[in-house]
Amino acid sequence: MRLYALSFVLGCVSLAAVAAEPPKLEPVPDIPPPPGVVDVDEPQITILQRGQDKVEEYRIRGRLYMIKVTPPHGRPYFLVDPRGNGQMVRYDDLSPNLLVPLWLIFEF
């Protein structure tokens, strides 16, 4: 008899827990970036068709730093602004003179 009474009480308690309203949830605010972290801009790539050539312009913060020209026949070539002064230098491929983008990771 005690076993039936205990199971009845536990059943009532569990029904009360199920019938209770779920807690009101609110969205978590955005977490700000840690101090000292520099936001890195992704390049904006514009693809144009000039005549039969496919031209891809690469810009960061509106500044044109590289152009990739793909002719319909032949290999693509690159025009790169290595010093940031607007003077483009032609490279047939980027591997021997590859200009790796440099990002500031840590500064004292």
Domain residue ranges in the chain: 33-108
pLDDT digits (tens, 9 = 90+) for 56-101: 999 988 889 899 999 998 889 999 888 888 888 888 776 655 666 6
At 100 the pLDDT is 62
3-state SS, residue 10: helix
Q: Place 1 in a pLDDT band, splitting at 50, 70 and 90.
A: low
Q: Place 9 in a pLDDT band, splitting at 50, 70 and 90.
A: low
3-state SS, residue 60: strand
Contact between 42 and 59 under an 8 Å Cβ cutoff? The reply is: no
In this structure, what are the phi and psi dihedrals at residue 23, rounded to the nearest 5 degrees? Answer: -65, 150
Q: What is the pTM of this model?
A: 0.52
pLDDT digits (tens, 9 = 90+) for 38-47: 666 788 999 9
In the predicted model, is pLDDT for residue 33 greater than 70? yes
CATH topology of domain 33-108: S-adenosyl-L-methionine-dependent methyltransferases (2.20.130)
At 3 the pLDDT is 62
Integer-rounded Cα Rg, in Å, for the chain is 31
At 84 the pLDDT is 80
